Structure 1
Amino acid sequence: MTRRKLTGSIAVMSALTVVAGLTGCSRSVDGTAMKEGAGTSDQHSADQYPNLLKECDVLTNDVLAKTVGADPLDIQSTFVGAVCRWQALNQTSGLIDITRFWYERGSLDEETQVAKHLNYKIENKSIAGVKSIIMHGNDPNGSCGVASDAAGVVGWWVNPQGPGADACGMASKLMDLTLATNS
């Protein structure tokens, strides 16, 4: 193939790709355009779903702070969504990241497989009579997670940013307190 034919073929293919892309991404939508927040919303969703987005409130900030050795004034929520996150200033080892997750359709077996894939050290344990695992992360500060087989799978991770904290003890205590609230 000559250089001229090759250049022409590339130009034709490029043009077809652009036309196909524009055609594939455009469509008509019925209705009237409105600014974000201008429409009405269902003000009764809280009645229908009273616990929506309250997964992070299962333990208070005071309880979280006490469990990780922080002053209640030195803890703050950093994210709420599929997982709940906090940062607390531990009085001896510094900043600690705390993460809570609850996957209603998850399982302890899935969490175990993920932990194995990540080469975490895994211990089987019963917490508050519930089948659980302790997961030791592979970092020098001793991060530790606990997952329990409760209404899907629920878990806590404690990630100290410095050495000296008993992350597994803290994560286990948070799980024990969490499971006690479900009794």
Structure 2
Amino acid sequence: MNRNGRTRKWLAAGAIAVAATTIAGCSVDGTAVREGGVDTGHVDTDQFDNLLSECEVLPGPTIAKAVGGTSADPNFFGANCRWIVSPQIIDVTFNWFEWGDYNLEKETAQNMGFTTENISVRSQSAFTQRDPQRPSVCGVTGKATAGGIFTWWVEPEAPQGGDPCAAPIKLMELILSGAY
């Protein structure tokens, strides 16, 4: 038998073994432990108590007023915080990347085809980012006073007129001033 024949037999045998294991089921005894970690049998949930508190950094009425609405209803709190502002339906998104890099964020926006403009918000370096395909949408990223970066995005369902970056700049001013 030539080498290719042996290789095909080994591959077929391997495929049969994988299929048999899948059909029969497979289980592993014990507890999963992160590499280098120690299984204590206890999960410290205290470390997660304020995991989403950054989503509460500005109250809904303050967000609504800043973007020209009357109410802001949260629709997702996670890695990004999102609200829908009514009555004119404006999506507002906030994120705080505690270890985020300002220059990398700006470079990423530019690589995505967004136009950026350097600005200063409450004496902090910031930049606007705009997608030429969606002229009524604007994001503002600034250096967070406690480290990392803050970003606010404001996306109206229908064009509002005026400067689309005015609302996210206002939100950035509020969060940087602590006057909320």
TM-score of Structure 1 vs Structure 2, range by shorter chain = 0.7 to 0.9
CA contact (8 A) 1:122 1:133 kept: yes
1:164 to 148, 157, 160: 160
Structure 2 counterpart SS, 1:119? coil
Unaligned runs of 5+ in 2: 32-41
Structure 2 counterpart SS, 1:63? helix
Distance 2:12 2:82 in 1: 51
Q: CA deviation at 1:13?
A: 3.9
| Residues 1:143 and 2:137 aligned together | yes
Where in structure 2 are the equivalents of 1:20-169 lying within 5 Å? 26-29=27-30, 45=46, 51-72=50-71, 75-90=72-87, 94-150=88-144, 151-165=147-161, 166-169=163-166
CA contact (8 A) 1:145 1:155 kept: yes
- Which amino acid is 1:112 matched to? K
Q: CA deviation at 1:52?
A: 3.5
User: Residues 110, 25 of structure 1: CA spacing in aligned structure 2 closer, same or farther, 3 A cutoff?
Assistant: farther
Q: CA deviation at 1:82?
A: 1.1
- Which amino acid is 1:152 matched to? G
RMSD of Structure 2 on Structure 1 (CA): 3.1
Structure 2 counterpart SS, 1:59? coil
* Structure 2 partner of 1:179: 176
* Structure 2 partner of 1:33: none
- Which amino acid is 1:175 matched to? M
1:21-45 CA-to-partner distances (Å, cap 9, x unmatched) read: 6899631126xxxxxxxxx9868x2
Structure 2 counterpart SS, 1:116? helix
User: Residues 21, 105 of structure 1: CA spacing in aligned structure 2 closer, same or farther, 3 A cutoff?
Assistant: farther
Distance 1:69 1:58 in 2: 19
TM-score w.r.t. the length of structure 1 is 0.75
Structure 1 counterpart SS, 2:165? helix
CA contact (8 A) 1:146 1:171 kept: yes
- Which amino acid is 1:68 matched to? V
CA contact (8 A) 1:124 1:132 kept: yes
Give the count of matched residue pairs: 161
1:40-93 CA-to-partner distances (Å, cap 9, x unmatched) read: 9868x2xx7774421011111111111111112xx2101111111001125xxx
Percent identity over the alignment is: 32
CA contact (8 A) 1:95 1:160 kept: yes
Distance 2:26 2:64 in 1: 50
* Structure 2 partner of 1:17: 18
- Which amino acid is 2:57 matched to? V
User: Residues 23, 130 of structure 1: CA spacing in aligned structure 2 closer, same or farther, 3 A cutoff?
Assistant: farther
